[in-house]
Amino acid sequence: DAKTTQPNSMESNEEEPVHLPCNHSTISGTDYIHWYRQLPSQGPEYVIHGLTSNVNNRMASLAIAEDRKSSTLILHRATLRDAAVYYCILRDGYGGSQGNLIFGKGTKLSVKP
Amino acid sequence: DAGVIQSPRHEVTEMGQEVTLRCKPISGHNSLFWYRQTMMRGLELLIYFNNNVPIDDSGMPEDRFSAKMPNASFSTLKIQPSEPRDSAVYFCASRKLAGDTYEQYFGPGTRLTVT
């Protein structure tokens, strides 16, 4: 299975941008890159996903390297509410069981006031 | 929409007892997932259903675990008999099979403690 590598933890200051890195050197051509986050005592929630091009939505931006072997989740202005564990996940676009989400350890983001 | 609903939110039981966790997916979603989360193993997929049919239960730890989805709006995860190592937070998630986002919506989880 294609896997991802993320730092265990990161710190940020409130109202500053945050760049969360993810390495996925064994990514295949059909793998989508998904980001979920899990706030304390809650279930994970979808943040963003992409295949090849950079993506933006109301929550964040996803920057995907040209060779797709790494990506970066960008929170433009961190708030205290963004403190969470962020998961970078590869999902096989062919679907079936290979298309399910496999969660790793993620990056625990702390936001300082 | 109320989102994915799970009950109970907390369950404390003694070893050997039967435990039933319940999940109501979001209306219109036709794929349902059961996950388990522990500090040691993280978030693990146990089983998932498409259109009420179990598709892959390879993540179910052993025969003590069983899951059913009798209709599109209800699913159960049963543990019989329960053991202390089953203590974890159990999440249910749902999504639409069609669509390109593959966005799963998670419930708030059931925290199970087996003493």
pLDDT in tens, A37-65: 999 999 999 999 999 999 999 999 999 99
Tell me the chain A residues in contact with residue B102 when contact means C-beta distances shorter than 8 Å.
32, 34, 49, 91, 99, 101
Contacts of A68 (CB under 8 A, 6+ apart): A24, A27, A33, A52
What percent of chain A is predicted at pLDDT more than 70? 93
Q: What span, in angstroms and rounded, lies between the C-alpha atoms of A90 and A32?
A: 6
Q: Which residues pair with A35 in a beta bridge?
A: A48, A88
Q: Which amino acid is at B114?
A: V
Closest by CA position to A75, among listed A90, A91, A57: A57
Q: Which segments of chain A are extended strands (E)?
A: 9-13, 18-23, 31-38, 45-50, 55-56, 61-64, 70-75, 84-92, 107-112
Give the mean pLDDT of A7-11: 97
Give the mean pLDDT of A94-99: 60
Q: What is the pLDDT of residue A71?
A: 97
Q: What span, in angstroms and rounded, lies between the C-alpha atoms of B47 and B57?
A: 4
At residue A2, does pLDDT exceed 70?
A: no
Helices (H) and strands (E) in chain A, counts: 0, 9
B45 close contact with A: CB closer than 8 A: yes
Look-up: residue for tokens 């090849």? A52
Contacts of A96 (CB under 8 A, 6+ apart): none
Tell me the chain B residues in contact with residue A103 when contact means C-beta distances shorter than 8 Å.
42-44
Q: What span, in angstroms and rounded, lies between the C-alpha atoms of A112 and A15?
A: 9
Give the nearest partner residue to A43 out of B42, B44, B106, using CB atoms. Answer: B106
Interface contact flag, A101 B45, Cβ < 8 Å: yes
Interface contact flag, B102 A49, Cβ < 8 Å: yes
> pLDDT higher for A14 or A91?
A14
Mutate to test the interface with A, among B29, B37, B43, B106 (most CBs of A within 10 A): B43
Q: What span, in angstroms and rounded, lies between the C-alpha atoms of A56 and B28?
A: 26
pLDDT-based confidence at residue A93 (cuts at 50, 70, 90):
confident
Mean pLDDT, all residues of chain A: 92
In chain B, which stretches have pLDDT less than 70? 1, 99-101
pLDDT-based confidence at residue A100 (cuts at 50, 70, 90):
confident
Interface contact flag, B103 A99, Cβ < 8 Å: no
